[in-house]
Structures are given as structure tokens and as C-alpha cells.
Amino acid sequence: MIAPATIVRRAAPVLACIGLLTAWQLASLGLKNDSFPTALEAVRAIPDILGDKESLINILASLRRMAIGFGIAVLVSIPLGLLMGRSRAVASFFNPLLMVIYPVPKAALMPIIMLWLGVGEATKILVIFLGVSLPVIYHSFEGAKAVEEKMLWSGAAMGLSPWQRLVRIVLPAALPEILTGCRTGLVLALITMITSEMIARQSGAGNILFNALDMGQYDTVYAMIIIVGAMGICLDAIFERVRAGLVRWSEPQFDMPLSFS
């Protein structure tokens, strides 16, 4: 027996998707514009993409790059962010540097990146890496900063070395915030996975999308967008499971009492 509330909650994503598609359909009908196809046209193009073996290989290649870029970014950014959060010196060393490097559009640096990394995988993984690391570093940074000092003192008094404190106290204490960074990172990973293939590409989901864009095949463009959106939902759902398992201790005890309904 499932409670009605549960049914509503389960159905909400589906309803939201249907709602979005409907809004899109109405908007595109109203605009009558070739480069903005109706939702129906886009949905109709999905089987063509997913039925094509080559497209599937393309999409899998993109996902592989994304996984590698995301993995490296998380492994590098969390320690860096935590260190920045706990050490004023490290923070003032890296913070301006990061703020100088990150705003530079990677697309503009392509000629130089190509010089050293070529036009293949490495370049794209680098772009994804940069996209993911941005939120992970800053959320880890803030999370580590907000760790209650007396918790660290307790750890120090138990004989934990500074490094042990970083791993065994700062990391778990900041985990909820770090995971928020990772979640934003996941979103950006999907976006950069596509946009990294904008200028140069061999295979990948972005390949399909930008080719279609160049050719004015807008139903394919939007079908691809839908597919990326669907991948987003799936990855997010998986991530949410992992997150819930890791930070159950931090969930608020009572519901927010501010419903206006």
C-alpha cells in the first residue's frame, strides 16, 4: 500500500517533465520558428538517435570522458578546497590565482591548449576537469571554513596530526557542503561534456548536437538536448542516493515549517 503523498512525490518528476514539454510545445507553436521545433518533433527524433549504433558509441565516448574528468576533478579539488578552508595562507595563495584562471574561456585558449595536448581526449578532459573543479573547490573551501573550531580542538587533543584532522574531521564535517559542490559539478560536467566538443571533435554527444546545429537539423538538436536532460536526471538520482547514504547524520530533524499552502 503506497500513501497518496508518496505517489505524488514519485510522480512529480514525470509531471514536471510533461509540464515542461507541454510548455515548450505551446511556445514553439506560438513562435512558428524553424530553429525552435516543437516538443513533438524533438521527441520524434529521439529514436533515430538512440537507434543508431554510431550515435550510441558517440554518447558513450562522451560519458567516458565525463566520468574521467569528473573523477580527477573531485580527487584534486576536495583536498585543495579543504586545505584552503583550513589554512589562511593556502587560501590567500590559491584564491586569487583561481579567480584569474577560471574566468578565462577555455574556447579562446584552444590554440595553445592544442599545442600541448593536441585536439583529442586530453583537451576535452581538461575542459571538463576545469568545469567540475570550480564548484567542488569553492564548496569544499566554504565547508571547511565553517567547521566548528572546537571539533578540531577535540581531535587535536586526541592526538590527531593536522593532516589526520583534515581527513578525519574536516572532511566528514564539510561533507554535506562538499557534496553540494559535487552536485553542481555533476551538472557542469554534463554541460562541459557537450561544449568541450564545440570547436574540435572526433566522437561524442556534442558531435551529434553541434553537427545538427550546423546543418540546421533542429529536431535532432533538441532531441539531443532531451537526451542530455535525461542523463542529468539519472545521474542526479544516483548521486542523490549516494549522498543520502553518506550524510544522513546531517539531515534536518524537523521539516521546514514554512509552507504557504
Contacts with 109 (C-beta within 8 Å, 6 or more apart), sequence order: none
Asked if residue 70 lies in contact with residue 124, where contact means CB atoms within 8 angstroms, the answer is no
Is residue 220 near other proteins by the rule CB under 8 A?
yes
Shortest reach from residue 158's CB to other proteins, in Å = 5
Looking at 43, 64, 110, 121, which residue binds other proteins (CB under 8 A)?
Answer: 110
Is residue 26 near other proteins by the rule CB under 8 A?
no
Query: By C-beta, is 71 or 172 nearer to other proteins?
Result: 172
Is residue 3 near other proteins by the rule CB under 8 A?
no
Q: What span, in angstroms and rounded, lies between the C-alpha atoms of 84 and 158?
A: 24
* Angle between helical axes of 218-246 and 205-215 (0-180°, round to 10): 150
The count of residues interacting with other proteins (CB under 8 A) is: 121
Query: What does the block give as the cell for 39?
Result: 516538443
Looking at 126, 132, 209, 223, which residue binds other proteins (CB under 8 A)?
Answer: 209
Alpha helices per DSSP H over 87-148: 88-101, 110-117, 121-145
**Site residues (CB under 8 A) for other proteins, limited to 123-182:** 134-135, 138-139, 141-142, 145-146, 148-151, 153-154, 156-160, 169, 172-173, 175-177, 180
Shortest reach from residue 24's CB to other proteins, in Å = 11
Looking at 57, 118, 122, 244, which residue binds other proteins (CB under 8 A)?
Answer: 118
Is residue 84 near other proteins by the rule CB under 8 A?
no
**Site residues (CB under 8 A) for other proteins, limited to 42-81:** none
Distances in Å between the Cα of 127 and the Cα atoms of 65, 66, 208 are: 10, 10, 19
CA-based torsion, 20, 23, 25, 27: positive or negative: negative
Is residue 194 near other proteins by the rule CB under 8 A?
yes
Query: What does the block give as the cell for 81?
Result: 578546497
Backbone angles phi, psi at 216, to 5 degrees: 70, 25
Looking at 228, 242, 244, 245, which residue binds other proteins (CB under 8 A)?
Answer: 228
Residue 120, by phi and psi: left (phi above 0), alpha (psi -120 to 50) or beta? beta
Shortest reach from residue 166's CB to other proteins, in Å = 14
Q: What span, in angstroms and rounded, lies between the C-alpha atoms of 235 and 41?
A: 26
Shortest reach from residue 72's CB to other proteins, in Å = 19
Looking at 41, 76, 80, 217, which residue binds other proteins (CB under 8 A)?
Answer: 217
Contacts with 235 (C-beta within 8 Å, 6 or more apart), sequence order: 186, 190
Query: By C-beta, is 101 or 242 nearer to other proteins?
Result: 101
Residue 251 is given by DSSP the state S
**Site residues (CB under 8 A) for other proteins, limited to 89-108:** 89, 91-97, 99-108
Shortest reach from residue 92's CB to other proteins, in Å = 4
Q: What span, in angstroms and rounded, lies between the C-alpha atoms of 189 and 239?
A: 13
Is residue 258 near other proteins by the rule CB under 8 A?
yes
Query: By C-beta, is 60 or 158 nearer to other proteins?
Result: 158
